[in-house]
Structure 1
Amino acid sequence: MEGSTALLLVLGVFILFVILGYNRLVGLRNSVDKSFASIDAMAKKRYDLIPNLVATVSKYMEHERGTLTDITEMRAKAMSGNLSDNDKVDLDNKISRAMGGIMVAVENYPDLKANQNFLQLQGSLNEIEEQLSAARRAYNAAVTDYNNACQMFPSNVFAMMFNFKTRRLFEITEVERQNVDVKSLFG
């Protein structure tokens, strides 16, 4: 009788351990999903701003017409809603690069730089980009915690048992890693 009681106790502790491990992984995964939803919300704000920005800028920037068209097409693809998280990350990075290129090209158009509507849109875009950056940092922190749980013993055993997969971090692009030449901006 004592042997069966001890066996039941060990089995109960094991089951409790599995339940706690599983619930921890679910909580971490939900935290990642919540953080990604914040990025989605900020990206949507940016996508909503793009048509106004393109309309304002296109009046002045004939040479950048192709880039403006590309941005509009990427926005439409992003708004379609049938993209995987990884595809959203890639598309968001492409939009960021293209928008950065437009903002640099604005320097060649003094009339555009003085346009009040453009200045307001640029301020809104800068604010959204800062919020997006903060959301990405929160997402990366949540992904790091989740990935650590999926890869470190003993929780990695539960991750494999219950098919929890690691997530990809938001990474800055190679262009964003390069140092900004301040002299060219103010020279």
Structure 2
Amino acid sequence: MTGGTIALLVVVAIVVIALLWAVAQYNGFVRLRNLVQEAWRQIDVELHRRHDLIPNLLESVKGYAAHERGVFDEVTRARAAAAAPGAGPAERARQEEALNGALGRLFAVAEAYPALRASENFQQLQDELTNTEDRIASGRRFYNANVRALNTKVETFPANVIAKMFGFTRAEYFEAEDPQVRRAPSVSF
């Protein structure tokens, strides 16, 4: 083999290695993007479940505290805003914060009615809401971990070159802004 042939083989090997690296990086971005989307869908399912529980909870409380119309309206408005489609994770987090605040006020109203707190239907709804809140928190952690992995890869050199070439961008975290709302509404009596 001549020196020119060896040089050509080295260049071809470098190009092949670079292409294989680029394909692996691209596939890694696709995998992370799909994990983020899947994690968001799971949160979305739990949020819908939560939104579906709220009308039943409102009806339970209304039977005992019909004169608390302002609280019921507030919960209804907050639920409608949170259940509206099309919001990204950051906007959705703000809407859920408002809903958490309204639910907290609803539970404060319910606390004034011992017969309501003792109601089996109310207790069951309360338990379901608590379980749903736990699943949302777990889903949020899983989603945010995947967002962190994607965002790190999008920003890290040399993978960021592939990210820019193929349009991979940072994802939004799903987190509460207000420290008071970071907690699930208290539902224990």
TM range (shorter): 0.7 to 0.9
Q: 1:112 and 2:122 equivalent?
A: no
Q: Return 5+ residue gaps in structure 1 as ranges.
A: none
Moved more, 37-46 or 82-91: 82-91
Q: Secondary structure at the match of 1:176?
A: coil
Q: How far does the alpha carbon of each residue in 1:119-158 deviate from its partner, in whole angstroms, 9 at most, with x for none?
A: 1111111111111111111111111111111122222222
What is aligned with 2:23?
19
* Stretch moving more, 29-38 or 75-84: 75-84
Report the TM-score, using the length of structure 1 for normalisation: 0.83
Alignment partner of 2:39 out of 35, 38, 44 = 35
Percent identity for Structure 1 against Structure 2: 33
Cα gap change, 1:64 to 1:94, in 2 (>3 Å): same
Where has structure 1 moved over 4 Å in runs of 4 or more?
none
> Which secondary structure does the structure 2 equivalent of 1:174 belong to?
coil
Is 1:176 aligned with 2:181? yes
Number of aligned residue pairs: give it: 181
Report what 1:145 is aligned to.
Answer: 149
Unaligned 5+ segments in structure 2 are: none
- Aligned: 1:60 with 2:64: yes
Two-structure CA RMSD over aligned residues (Å): 2.4
Task: Name the aligned partner's letter for residue 76 of structure 2.
Answer: T
Equivalent in 8, 13, 24 of residue 4 of structure 1? 8
Supply the AA of the counterpart residue of 2:43: I
The answer to whether the Cα contact below 8 Å between 2:100 and 2:181 also exists between their aligned partners in 1 is no
Q: CA deviation at 1:89?
A: 2.9
The 1:140–1:159 alpha-carbon spacing in structure 2 relative to 1, beyond 3 Å, is same
1:101 is aligned to 2:102 = no
Between the aligned partners of 1:61 and 1:166, the Cα distance in structure 2 is 46
More deviation in 169-178 or 156-165? Answer: 169-178
Give per-residue Cα distances to partners, 1:100-120, cap 9 Å, x unaligned.
Answer: 332233222223212221111
Shift of 1:39: 0.4
Cα separation, partners in 2 of 1:64 and 1:164, compared to 1, 3 Å: farther
Q: Decide whether aligned partners of structure 1 residues 78 and 31 sit closer, same or farther in structure 2, where only a CA change above 3 A counts.
A: same
Q: Please state whether the residue corresponding to 1:53 is helix, strand or coil.
A: helix
